[in-house]
Chain A
Amino acid sequence: MYRKVHLATRKSNMNVPVQKYMKTRILLSIFVVVLGLAAGFFFFRPPTLHGTIIQSPEPSFDFMLTGIDGDVSLSDFRGKLVLVYFGYTFCPDICPATLANAGQALRSMSDRQSEDIQLIMISLDPERDTPQKLAEYVAHFHPSFIGITGPEEKLAEVTSLYGIFYEKHPGTAATGYLIDHTATLLVIDREGYLKLVFPFGVTTKEIADDLKYMLRQ
């Protein structure tokens, strides 16, 4: 009995610094874990891309239209990220603003990154936009940009399948007719799947950030 009490007393005396030490250790560990969790959430949080992500189960429609160097199809660019934009060269504001932002985004990247990206502008105005004129127009925004177009029936098919509505309406004597159109910028991944839809108004930085993220995938 004595021995038991003695041992208990000794154990209790020894536990005072050990318990204090353990308490500090546990608190420190919790602090480190919480700090790490906050840092981890910051660095590993799910990507909040500026465009809308599409989880398409099948590849995008593979169009074939005509550019200055002949026929161009989407599948020619497998292995690259492809930006697809629908517009026309007489477009007064929306098209140049979007193309300028896309061009700036590519310029803000390294050569290696921008070489893995191809922008294709599909003209909705084959009547006025010849391949020659399109090539000159898109080159103003970035030398790598390609401009293509085709007959109305083909354009109707391509635009419908990419969710692009367009219609002509009268403009001024200076502009001629104008074309209202859906102004989204689409991103097709290296394997030909639609992955991202940028709304009109997307900025240079937002395009660049999202494309850089996609290039890392």
Chain B
Amino acid sequence: MNKYLLNGLYGLLALIGISAFAFKVFQPIQVLPRIRLSPAFDMLDQDWKRLTNEDLRGQMVLYTFTYTNCPVPCHDIDKTMQEIQARLSEADLGETKMSFVTISFDPQNDSPLALRAHAEGLNADPQQWKFVTSPNETLLKTIIGSGFHAYYEKNTDNSFTFDPTFILVDGWGIVRGEYRYQTEVSTVDRILRHISVLADEVQNSTGPQKVAYEAAHLFLCYAP
């Protein structure tokens, strides 16, 4: 009987190993990494209304960073956001809410009025896509630079040098996706795919299924 128990134990260890390996290889559940906490902020939107990170709790948010006087190719950022918003129905969001926030790092020129004109020029849905900034430039730099890890720097001619960046944040205020390269069509596809993956996790990672989702995090089953 001891021999059987030993065989059983070997079998068990082999099965656990094979299961873990199979989970890692086949990735039955994919997730997005929980990268860091999204920074807290308190800003004014294009309608002169306050928008804080707490207002967005419970919904997925895609952030980007720009300034309205930016010449081409800055417009690609807005185009990418427009395309994602237009194709959002491709992602199965279920009950999960989704918002878009463009943060301007040029508060001297981007008053709420200027932001509104910019938003209207893009036909942005004001309920879903907010354009915000803060007059406190030091804090703005902390929020965008250190909090969202999005680089920007003001030039002597008042233009800005910056890296186009999109940040996907979940309803718990955790950064789940960072997209830092030049905007192309593939970026839109990737972001939309990630929004779907995140919405799946939000809707399904409760009760007994939570174990499977935590296993996916443990085995780094990250969506490509």
Q: Give the interface of A toward B (CB within 8 A).
A: 25, 28-29, 32-33, 35-37, 39-40, 44-49, 52-58, 61, 153, 156-157, 159-167, 182, 186, 194, 197
Contacts and interface: CB of A to CB of B under 8 A. Distances in A.
B142 A46 contact: no
Contact of B174 (A39, A54, A157, A159): A54
B215 A46 contact: yes
Contact of B37 (A25, A37, A156, A163): A163
Contacts of B9: 36
Contacts of B172: 52, 197
B139 A156 contact: yes
B7 A29 contact: yes
Interface in B35-52: 35-42, 52
A194 B8 contact: no
Contacts, number: 105
Q: 3 smallest A-B Cβ distances: which pairs? A: A32-B8, A36-B12, A163-B37
B35 A167 contact: no
B146 A61 contact: yes
Interface of B: 4-5, 7-9, 11-13, 15-16, 33-42, 52-54, 138-139, 142-143, 146-147, 172-174, 210-211, 214-215, 217-218
A44 to B, nearest CB: 6
A36 B53 contact: no
A44 B16 contact: yes
Contacts of A186: 37
Contact of B42 (A46, A54, A167, A194): A167
Contacts of A39: 12
B8 A157 contact: no
Contacts of A53: 34, 214, 217
